[in-house]
Amino acid sequence: MLEQGAPPQDQRTAAPASPGVAARLMRRKPVECLVAEGGQGEGGTLRRSLGLWQLTMISIGATLGTGIFVVLGQAVPKAGPAVTLSFVIAGLTALFSALSYAELAGTIPVSGSSYSYAYATMGELIAWVCGWCLLLEYGVSVAAVAVGWGEYLNELLDGTIGVTIPDALSAPPGDGGVFNLPALIVVLLAMAFLLGGAKESARANTIMVCVKIAALILFCAIGFMGFKSGNYAHFMPLGMAGVSAAGATLFFSYIGFDAASTAGEEAKNAQRDLPRAIMLSLVIVTTLYVLVAAVAVGARPWRRFNDSEAALAQIMRDVTGQGFWATLLAFCAVIAIASVVLTVLYGQTRILFAMSRDGLVPKVFARVHPKTGAPRANTVIVSLFCGVLAAAVPLGQLADATSIGTLFAFALVNVAVVVLRRTRPDMPRTFRVPLSPVLPALGFAFCVWMMGSLSAVTWVVFGVWMAVGLVFYFGYGYRRSRLATAEDVAVATEK
């Protein structure tokens, strides 16, 4: 006989019900758990070998080069001389998001970047969507930059030995070629560096970053000699819509600080150095972008850019009347763009590493080589995929696809910083976004505005990519994630 007030026997012994679908989709990974797992992979651990200097160089390496050496020629026809304003708008949008990245990178210093931030604040489904966007952002960015590298390689070969790689082997289908061999080659070269480990890759990247900064300063010095104020007579010929459209395309050039946040598990003092590296690199890069764009448009009428992917080298040739300076710039650009491929490819592999460790993608991406401390299988798989993509898809389509993935991920980061402030207000933070939640809200609004400036085709591609990602998540990650496995074990144990 039951005691008075005691629950019925079947209620006292009943096993707890499994969490519903909505609860599973909203499950969050504790910040402490994310930080405690830092560096741990399958069969080895990542090595903490990067200081503030190397982290800043990774940021600059991933950012500086693409927008100025490659995409400038595509952005100028959209905005005219007001492309300088487009760079400022894109940089301002990046700044708002960079502030949020800096706070979260110092609070949650892990390899997953905004994917991990979303996992800790908004739940697994949003984290997956964010991670899937990052795969689009980084993977397509590597391919897009590799395409531009081939353009400057041809400029270099033409200026030194008087030959160029035939269009059939230097352009993708749709751009007059069959297979873009140079694009594949530069991705494979970056892969070789990354297989040696983070420290060795960072050393090579630092050298390449110094070369490209010197090249851009040289361009400004020579390009200024051909500066004509008349080229700015009609500053905004296509209106604010053109400025906005160019800014959305150029935002593709501002993903470098995001790459720095993916080094959270290989930084010596991540909580201190990551926020500093993010902000320092963004200031340096934005200053150089605006300066070079202003000189380029002043030295050449905006209608003559004609969607060129090697515009700076051509301007050098026009201003000096000699091929030497253009060849020198092309040489520097070949090195500069290679560093973008290297650092962005690095970021891609580390995001997949974090997603794999959480069980959302196959375990092969989390395997770490015990000698080099690098995820070798991950690096090889990602490199081959990006290399083939670069060899087969035109640059313009790649750049816009990267922009929309970047903007979507950045919008989520601005939300995440506000959510974490409210849910974990007492957590120690080495950097805090000023005027929160106002600035994160502005960052979110700018990202949404610039996404709206992208073409309908880009949105279709993005929608298809998201649909594929959701199919993969519900077919694989939903039941295989480590949080899901832990829940299933807990329920089975209590039955």
Residues 32-82 pLDDT 10s: 888 888 777 776 778 888 889 999 998 898 888 666 766 777 788 888 899
The pair of three-digit structure tokens given for residue 49, joined into one six-digit string: 């070998």
Tell me how far apart the alpha carbons of residues 403 and 39 are, in angstroms, rounded to a whole number.
29
Q: What is the pLDDT of residue 460?
A: 87
Q: What is the pLDDT of residue 491?
A: 57
Give whole-number Cα distances, 49 to 31, 91, 110, 350, 410, in Å: 23, 30, 14, 15, 27
Residue 201 and residue 346 in contact, taking contact as beta carbons nearer than 8 Å: yes
- 3-class DSSP state for residue 243? helix
Q: What share of the chain has pLDDT > 90, as a percent?
A: 22
| More confident of the two residues 406 and 385 | 385
Kind and range of the H or E element at 256?
Answer: helix 256-261
Predicted confidence band at 21 (pLDDT cuts at 50, 70, 90)?
confident
Q: What is the pLDDT of residue 490?
A: 62
Residue 290 and residue 88 in contact, taking contact as beta carbons nearer than 8 Å: yes
**For 355-397, how does the pLDDT look when each residue is reduced to its tens digit (9 = 90+)?**
999 999 999 998 988 888 888 999 999 999 888 888 877 656 6
Amino acid residing at 76: V
Residue 227 and residue 318 in contact, taking contact as beta carbons nearer than 8 Å: no
| More confident of the two residues 307 and 443 | 443
Among the listed ranges 4-13, 96-105, 190-199, which one has the minimum average pLDDT value? 4-13
Mean pLDDT across 252-266: 79
Cβ atoms within 10 Å, residue 166: 12
Q: Please name the residue ranges forming H helices in 358-437.
A: 376-392, 395-423
**467 pLDDT exceeds 90?**
yes
**For 333-352, how does the pLDDT look when each residue is reduced to its tens digit (9 = 90+)?**
788 888 888 888 888 899 99
Amino acid residing at 376: R
Residue 101 and residue 326 in contact, taking contact as beta carbons nearer than 8 Å: no
**305 pLDDT exceeds 50?**
yes
**For 164-193, how does the pLDDT look when each residue is reduced to its tens digit (9 = 90+)?**
888 788 777 766 778 888 888 999 999 999
**9 pLDDT exceeds 50?**
no
Residue 247 and residue 90 in contact, taking contact as beta carbons nearer than 8 Å: yes
Q: What is the pLDDT of residue 439?
A: 93
The pair of three-digit structure tokens given for residue 281, joined into one six-digit string: 């690199």
Q: Among 485, 23, 487, 57, which residue's Cα sits nearest to residue 259? A: 57
